[in-house]
């Protein structure tokens, strides 16, 4: 029997969501691992773009940051950051964006700004960076995040990046015509927005995970699809490629990770 960790299950599930012809705006960390796993397995022609302006990059190891030289050295081209955002991102040339969050609500709205009151916060977070533009300008957005009540909340403290707003057609009311969050991939399950209400609904549960576990780790009332699938386990090839990628990264970066 193939053995894998919840993090590997999440990474593989995220990678599988990508297609060979996607142009993907990649974030550092889990999104980077998922996108490069897809490139090294079923989607060799995928175009990976990082926020620093590297286009068509094919890193041999996972980058420490968007400014990692590995990205520029393996890219087809590198453009200035203003061009990256104005021409590529806001110009509608990127099909998929990957985002994470400190807090997330059931409509895919993201908080990476503050925990608590904005003027007197309990914690001040790093902020949005390019995430607000990614959330509104990419064709669709995949969210990748470990599931917990601390992160999956009924109401986020600050809307840093727009998801589906208040649900329904609220996103479009702001003049945003992209698809928005179309998939939420966690270490427990996969959720997709309800076609009308736009709230996240569980559509696939990872092997060995119960509905009770999902409910216990979610701060909103969880909805399950009428037919809930079981997520396919990672294949031996997917795990081998992912683990070799992480091993190369560890060897290259050591304690810097």
Catalytic residue annotation: 51
Identify the helix (H) or strand (E) that includes residue 104.
strand 103-104
Which residues, at least 6 apart from 65, have a Cβ–Cβ distance to it below 8 Å?
Answer: 28
Measured in whole angstroms, how far is the alpha carbon of residue 197 from the centre of its chain? 21
Answer yes or no: are the C-beta atoms of 142 and 149 closer than 8 Å: no
Assign residue 214 a region (left: φ > 0; alpha: ψ between -120 and 50; beta: otherwise).
alpha
> How would you classify the pairing of strands 189-193 and 110-111?
unpaired
Contact status, residue 223 vs residue 193, Cβ threshold 8 Å: no
* Residue showing tokens 């099909």: 95
Please, are residues 219 and 152 in contact by the beta-carbon 8 Å criterion?
yes
């Amino acid at each position: 029997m193939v053995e894998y960790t919840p993090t590997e299950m999440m990474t593989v599930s995220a990678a599988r969501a990508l297609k060979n012809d996607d142009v993907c705006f990649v974030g550092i960390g889990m999104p980077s691992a998922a996108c490069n796993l897809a490139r090294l397995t079923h989607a060799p022609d995928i175009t990976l773009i990082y926020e620093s302006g590297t286009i068509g990059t094919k890193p041999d190891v996972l980058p420490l940051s968007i400014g990692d030289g590995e990205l520029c050295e393996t890219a087809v081209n590198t453009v200035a950051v203003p061009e990256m955002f104005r021409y590529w991102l806001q110009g509608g040339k990127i099909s998929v964006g990957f985002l994470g969050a400190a807090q997330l609500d059931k409509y895919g709205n993201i908080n990476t700004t503050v925990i608590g009151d904005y003027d007197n916060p309990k914690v001040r977070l790093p902020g949005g960076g390019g995430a607000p533009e990614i959330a509104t300008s990419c064709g669709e957005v995949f969210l990748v995040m470990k599931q917990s009540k601390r992160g999956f909340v009924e109401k986020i403290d600050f809307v840093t990046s727009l998801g589906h707003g208040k649900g329904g057609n609220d996103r479009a009311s702001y003049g945003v015509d992209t698809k928005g969050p179309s998939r939420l991939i966690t270490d427990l399950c996969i959720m997709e927005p309800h076609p009308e209400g736009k709230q996240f609904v569980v559509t696939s549960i990872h092997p060995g995970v119960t509905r009770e576990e999902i409910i216990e780790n979610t701060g909103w009332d969880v909805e399950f699809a009428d037919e809930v699938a079981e997520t396919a386990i990672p294949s031996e090839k997917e795990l081998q490629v992912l683990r070799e990628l992480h091993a190369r990264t560890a060897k290259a970066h050591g304690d810097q990770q």
